[in-house]
C-alpha cells in the first residue's frame, strides 16, 4: 500500500509569485484535504476535495485554490504569494465521504514553502 | 465553530515513566471524533489514537491511552513506559461527525523524553 506523497519537499518563492504544490493520495482514498502549518502552530484547514469537487473550505482567501484529478491526486495553488504564506503545507487523504466511521486522515510529509 | 486548546506548550518525562498531555475543546455538537497526532522532526503527522464521542470507554493503543471526559470537554493523552522515540510534537484534533472531514487542531505540546 502506497502512502501519501507530496512534492516538492522544499520550495523557495518570491513575494507576488505563484506556486503549485502536489499530493498523491493513499491507494483507495478519494478524499484529499490540505492544511497550512505555520512554524510552532497546529495545522489550519485550507480545503477538502472529494471526487474532484471542493467539499469544504477553511478561512483562506480565494488566491488559495485547488484541484483534484480523476486518480484522486491533488494540487494546491497559491497566487500572489505573501510573506505570511511561508509554512509547511500538509496534504491528507481518507476514504469515502459518509457521515459514519472515523475515516482517519493519513498525512503526507509536507512541503516546506518559504516566501522571501 | 469548534476550538481545541492545549495549555502545555512543552512537557518532559524520564524514559520509562508516565506522562499525561492535556487537551480541552469547545463544541455544541453531541457526536464527533477526537484524535491525538504525533509529529516528529521528520514532519510526518502520525495518528496515535482516536476516540468516538458516543463511546464511553476510553480508547487504548498499547502504551497510549486517553481519558475522555465528555461533559468536561476534556481529552487527555497518557503515555506509559515512555521511550526516546516518543519525543515529538503532539497535537490534539477534533472532527465533526458530519460529511466534511476537516480536522481542527490544537497548538501542540512538545514532548521531550529524557534518558
Which of A107-116, B4-13, B36-45, B77-86 is least confident? B36-45
pLDDT at B51: 94
Q: How confident is the model at residue A8 (pLDDT cuts 50, 70, 90)?
A: very high
pLDDT at B37: 96
pLDDT at A109: 93
Q: Between chains, do A43 and B46 touch, taking CB under 8 Å as contact?
A: no
Q: Which of residues 50-89 of A touch B (CB under 8 A)?
A: 55-56, 58, 88
A58-86 pLDDT, tens digit per residue, is: 999 999 999 999 988 999 999 999 999 99
pLDDT at residue A99, as a whole number = 44
Query: Which grid cell is A106?
Result: 493519513
Dihedral over alpha carbons B103, B109, B110, B115 (to 10 degrees): -120
Examine the pLDDT at B96 and tell me if it is beyond 70. Answer: yes
Rank A2-6, A8-12, A70-74, A104-108 by mean pLDDT and report only the highest.
A8-12
DSSP assignment of B90-102 equals EEEEEEESSS---
Using one digit for the tens of pLDDT, what is the confidence trace for A25-36?
Answer: 988 888 899 999
- Which of B37, B44, B101 is nearest residue A109 as measured by Cβ atoms? B44
Specify the DSSP class assigned to residue B24.
E
Q: Whole-number mean pLDDT of chain A?
A: 91
Amino acid at each position: 500500500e502506497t502512502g501519501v506523497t507530496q512534492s516538492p519537499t522544499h520550495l523557495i518563492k518570491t513575494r507576488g509569485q505563484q506556486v503549485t504544490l502536489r499530493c498523491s493520495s493513499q491507494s483507495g482514498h478519494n478524499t484529499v484535504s490540505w492544511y497550512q502549518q505555520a512554524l510552532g502552530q497546529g495545522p489550519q484547514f485550507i480545503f477538502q476535495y472529494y471526487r474532484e469537487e471542493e467539499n469544504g473550505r477553511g478561512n483562506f482567501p480565494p488566491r488559495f485554490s485547488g484541484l483534484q484529478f480523476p486518480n484522486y491526486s491533488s494540487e494546491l495553488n497559491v497566487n500572489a504569494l505573501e510573506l505570511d504564506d511561508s509554512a509547511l503545507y500538509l496534504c491528507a487523504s481518507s476514504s469515502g465521504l459518509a457521515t459514519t466511521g472515523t475515516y482517519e486522515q493519513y498525512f503526507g510529509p509536507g512541503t516546506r514553502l518559504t516566501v522571501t | 465553530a469548534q476550538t481545541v486548546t492545549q495549555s502545555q506548550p512543552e512537557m518532559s518525562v524520564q524514559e520509562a515513566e508516565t506522562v499525561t498531555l492535556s487537551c480541552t475543546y469547545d463544541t455544541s455538537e453531541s457526536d464527533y471524533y477526537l484524535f491525538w497526532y504525533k509529529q516528529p522532526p521528520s514532519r510526518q503527522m502520525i495518528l496515535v489514537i482516536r476516540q468516538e464521542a458516543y463511546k464511553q470507554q476510553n480508547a487504548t493503543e498499547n502504551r497510549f491511552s486517553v481519558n475522555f471526559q465528555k461533559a468536561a470537554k476534556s481529552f487527555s493523552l497518557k503515555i506509559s513506559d515512555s521511550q526516546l522515540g516518543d519525543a515529538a510534537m503532539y497535537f490534539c484534533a477534533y472532527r465533526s461527525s458530519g460529511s466534511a472531514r476537516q480536522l481542527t487542531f490544537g497548538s501542540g505540546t512538545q514532548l521531550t523524553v529524557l534518558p
